[in-house]
Amino acid sequence: MKALTLTDWTGSPEKFFRELPDDWSGDLRAMWPEIADGSRILVSADKSGFRCGGIVSRALFPDMAGYASQAQAFYRKQYWYIGYLYVHPDYRSDGLGTRWLEAVRKEVPARGFWLVIEKIGLLKFYTRSGFHVHEILHDGKRREWLLAGAREDW
């Protein structure tokens, strides 16, 4: 499988926000001024446009309040957060999400990466990509999975 080339859209975040589902883009647009300094938007795009992308960050997102201590612990260990990973519907099932994660591991100088998922159906994808369940978070009736994956070359 051909390696993915990433383009940094951090300087033009609105380009990325427009590619996301409305609920994601609204939330992210509102918090971007608070997290921009510690974050990068990395995407794969070609002449036909956006294919996939996401955010890698060392910022404490406003919606991380329920697990801020875990986030800070990961940041102290030189881990980066992965959020808003999105693959355009026309390119799903092409392995782009996996290739994006592989490219990020090469591009970002981190000891490892962590993320939180809300849908159990995503667990299989992320475990195949080298992540494991670090903790199950409970917030009332809602459950989320905090996943972590260390780089093997460190």
- Domain of 84? 7-150
- Asked, for residue 122, whether it belongs to a domain, the answer is yes
- Asked, for residue 83, whether it belongs to a domain, the answer is yes
Write down the pTM of the prediction.
0.93
- Encode pLDDT of 49-106 as tens digits: 899 999 999 999 998 988 999 999 999 999 999 999 999 998 888 889 999 999 999 9
- Encode pLDDT of 101-152 as tens digits: 999 999 998 899 999 999 999 999 999 999 999 999 987 788 999 999 987 7
Phi-psi category of residue 84: left, alpha or beta, with phi > 0 → left and psi -120 to 50 → alpha: left
> Which tokens go with 13?
């975040």
- Asked, for residue 29, whether it belongs to a domain, the answer is yes
- Asked, for residue 1, whether it belongs to a domain, the answer is no
> Edge to edge, what strands does the sheet with 112-117 contain?
7-8, 39-46, 49-57, 79-87, 112-117, 142-150, 132-139
Sign of the Cα torsion 89, 101, 10, 45 reads negative
- Asked, for residue 2, whether it belongs to a domain, the answer is no
- Asked, for residue 109, whether it belongs to a domain, the answer is yes
Report the number of distinct structural domains present in the chain: 1
Q: How far apart are CA 114 and CA 57, in angstroms?
A: 10
Q: What is the CATH number of the domain that holds 120?
A: 3.40.630.30
Residue 1: per-residue pLDDT? 60
> Which tokens go with 141?
């009736």
Q: Measured between alpha carbons, how far is residue 48 from residues 94, 98, 122 in Å?
A: 16, 21, 27
